Structure 1
């Protein structure tokens, strides 16, 4: 990727979504040996398929950013298990997946975190069980003011936003999500003294697209991101802007 294109990308985040076909395995021809071994170790075939699809999407898109072949891309893991690109500290990326879908965020302006979930299929019973583990007392009280039929989707939207913020911090759910408060106006606060912990200082964008709720959090301000949708069997390429 040219220096001019890199400079133009610094104020934005690229979001890529790969939609998989039911029962169709993701091709693994660009994966490293270690990645193939990791995929083979999954007990669930669906979990393995999502892992492979995420790495295939990641390798194809990031290879274009850097200017190398997808199979030549080096991807390492931090002690917390977060993938990163050795030798490219100016490029951050993050992956998320839900049933049949993998999402990738790429940022050249600091850290980024992304989460995506199917908007349907999350009922009131699941919300009741998870709410005390995810929401702060203030958030729970705020949610209870909504009509009962709106509460599950509103809960899921906050959960997705929290995951994106915590992944942006670099630790994900190793941090307690209740320490991050997503306020009704969309701002973020935390109970930490240090701004880089538990999402302090992050900005986030969120929305609903293709039947999914999503959120992306960034360390620094960026333009509202746009999605690039890919489907199984497509040639995975970035759109020039």
Structure 2
């Protein structure tokens, strides 16, 4: 059940944020493969994240297609190999609707777009003392070093969410070395500044930061023309009903 899922219009990207929940009735929305994947997780926290993200994307996509969540059929396409098992960027057959999902900590993000291929990434703020700076370009590492020590974890997480969003939108994922991408500094508006060795032809990348609250950083990337980004928050009741809050429309580089 759901309340108030708006339709995505041409030239729009909708981003949905929700907290992970443990609501057994949501399992009924998943297909057999998704349920098996859910059951394979050892930790309750991981099961809740997976369940919430996949139930949410099914409900959101179903509302756009005018069908039931269980009737949604996903495809997966990998740009880099032809292994027979399903893997790679998720999509929909016979629909121009693009989507992406991500989860981290206790929060999930789903992006829907009719403006072009989309990628969303949400990351719990990095806490480790030794950040894996090999994923950063040289100019990004230098910028991170200029930050006060107490702000470097936040800065790194901002960098990482932006890069992940771009690579998910293009369908490359981590098959492309993240250090080949240079994104704007953590305190600057989100933008892809350079992509070394990127194969032509390619589409313009529209990159936006997403405000998901303290302890997290998130970004969404859309390929193609400029688009309007609309941000939503959602929550699940104990019976699995999805409820939404008023949307925030964004016309600049942030939401």
Cα distance in 2 between the residues matched to 1:107 and 1:162: 19
Question: Does the Cα contact within 8 Å between 2:236 and 2:243 map onto a contact in 1?
Answer: no
Distance 1:103 1:153, change over 3 A: same
Distance 1:100 1:183, change over 3 A: closer
Match of 1:158 in 2: 159
Higher-helix-fraction structure? 1
Runs of 4+ in 1 over 6 A off after TM superposition: 237-241
Distance 1:157 1:150, change over 3 A: same
Q: Are 1:231 and 2:238 counterparts?
A: no
What per-residue deviation string (whole Å, max 9, x for no partner) do you get for residues 90-118 of structure 1? 11100000122111000011100001122
Distance 1:209 1:55, change over 3 A: closer
| Alignment: residue pair count | 227
SS in 2 for 1:225: strand
The farther-off stretch of 103-112 and 228-237 is 228-237
Distance 1:113 1:47, change over 3 A: same
Cα distance in 1 between the residues matched to 2:241 and 2:9: 22
Q: Are 1:192 and 2:193 counterparts?
A: no
Structure 1 counterpart of 2:99, from 93, 97, 112: 93
Shift of 1:216: 0.3
Runs of 5+ consecutive residues of structure 1 not aligned to the other structure: none
Shift of 1:178: 0.3
Cα distance in 2 between the residues matched to 1:50 and 1:118: 13
| RMSD value, Cα | 2.5
Match of 2:83 in 1: none
Alignment of 1:87-166 (within 5 A): 87-88=94-95, 90-119=96-125, 122-123=126-127, 125-127=129-131, 130-132=132-134, 134-166=135-167
Shift of 1:36: 1.2
SS in 2 for 1:63: helix
Higher-strand-fraction structure? 2
The farther-off stretch of 93-102 and 229-238 is 229-238
The farther-off stretch of 173-182 and 207-216 is 207-216
Match of 1:58 in 2: 57
Distance 1:136 1:165, change over 3 A: same
